[in-house]
């Protein structure tokens, strides 16, 4: 049972978020699952977004009429990952019998990739095009979506990038610009089409905008309420998300 390296590392690095799958399977509700896992409703959906973005297929799907509100269920892929996680838990219990071994696992977790970037997408390198001291890295994401990342040639060599390599595309929420669907994107920028799924008002600050892509992945952007009103963007609106290739950071599995 193979998994994307990004998701496999996540299972070691953040087991409490993977364990959320178990709560969803048992409760059939995000509200109940979040309470069982000791998370806020928003933190639970943030965890689900991250898991769905890192997996090849969505692990959690919204369901209509869930018990207690916020209905959700595991997809077939989510059930498969949960079974694997449960197997890993059993193996961990067998292998890590001493405090020293448990401490070593914690050390490995600290050495693995952690990032403050709000958007973390799993993809593969589709092309590498040299341009002076920089390289343009073409990435293929889930659902056949594609974006470009501009990094230095030294970074390409240091990361050992080659066609077909698994990578993380990391993009800060503040680097995403929202456009109405009828506006053309800036030439040379990445542009993805989506639909606004949720807008969370900030306290005396920008709103957090969750955008569902055609691939079922979620992007999180921030925008001032006045900007959203001027663009006539609201929940359910189609929207374009643009960002410069230089704003895409690339990470590779350890």
Domain 5-111 and domain 115-254 have a common topology: no
Tell me: the pLDDT tens digits for 114-160? Answer: 556 779 888 899 999 998 999 999 999 988 999 999 999 989 998 88
* Phi, psi angle pair for 164, to nearest 5°: 95, -5
Helices marked H in 57-170: 76-95, 99-111, 153-159
The reported pTM is 0.65
The first and second tokens of residue 165, run together, are 């390599």
Q: Which residues contact 216 (CB under 8 A, 6 or more apart)?
A: 52, 58, 142, 143
pLDDT tens track for 12-65 = 445 567 788 889 999 888 889 999 888 888 888 888 888 888 887 888 887 655
The structure tokens listed for 197 are 């799924």
Cα separation of the two ends of the chain: 20
Fold (topology level) of 5-111:
Arc Repressor Mutant, subunit A (1.10.10)
For every residue of 212-233, DSSP letters joined together read EETTS-EEEEEE-HHHHHHTT-
Domain assignments of the chain as residue spans, ordered by start: 5-111, 115-254
Can you read off the two tokens belonging to residue 65?
A: 């009429």
Q: Which of 249, 251, 240 is nearest to 176 (CA)?
A: 240
Q: Using alpha carbons only, give the angle 58, 64, 70 rounded to the nearest 5 degrees.
A: 75
- Answer yes or no: is pLDDT of 234 > 90: yes
Look at residues 89, 58, 87 and name the one whose alpha carbon lies nearest to residue 75.
58
Q: Indicate the CATH number of 115-254 among 2.40.50.100, 3.30.390.30, 3.40.605.10, 3.40.50.300.
A: 2.40.50.100
């Amino acid at each position: 049972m193979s998994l994307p390296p990004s998701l496999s590392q996540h299972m070691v690095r953040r087991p409490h978020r993977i364990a959320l799958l178990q709560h969803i399977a048992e409760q059939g509700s995000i509200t109940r699952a979040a309470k069982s896992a000791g998370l806020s409703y928003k933190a639970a959906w943030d965890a689900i977004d991250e898991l769905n973005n890192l997996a090849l297929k969505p692990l959690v799907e919204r369901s209509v009429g869930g018990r207690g509100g916020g209905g959700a269920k595991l997809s077939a892929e989510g059930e498969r990952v949960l079974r694997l996680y449960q197997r890993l838990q059993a193996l961990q219990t067998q292998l890590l019998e001493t405090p020293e071994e448990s401490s070593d696992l914690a050390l490995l977790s600290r050495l693995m990739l952690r990032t403050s970037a709000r958007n973390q997408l799993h993809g593969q390198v589709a092309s590498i095009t040299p341009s002076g001291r920089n390289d343009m890295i073409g990435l293929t994401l889930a659902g056949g979506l594609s974006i470009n990342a501009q990094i230095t040639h030294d970074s390409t060599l240091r990361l050992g990038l080659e066609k077909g390599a698994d990578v993380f595309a990391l993009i800060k929420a503040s680097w995403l610009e929202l456009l109405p669907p009828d506006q053309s994107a800036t030439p040379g920028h990445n542009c993805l089409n989506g639909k606004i799924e949720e807008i969370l008002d900030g306290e005396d600050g920008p709103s957090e905008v969750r955008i569902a892509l055609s691939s079922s992945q979620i992007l999180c952007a921030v925008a001032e309420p006045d900007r959203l009103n001027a663009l006539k963007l609201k929940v359910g609106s189609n929207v374009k998300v643009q960002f410069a290739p230089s704003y895409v950071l690339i990470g590779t599995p350890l």
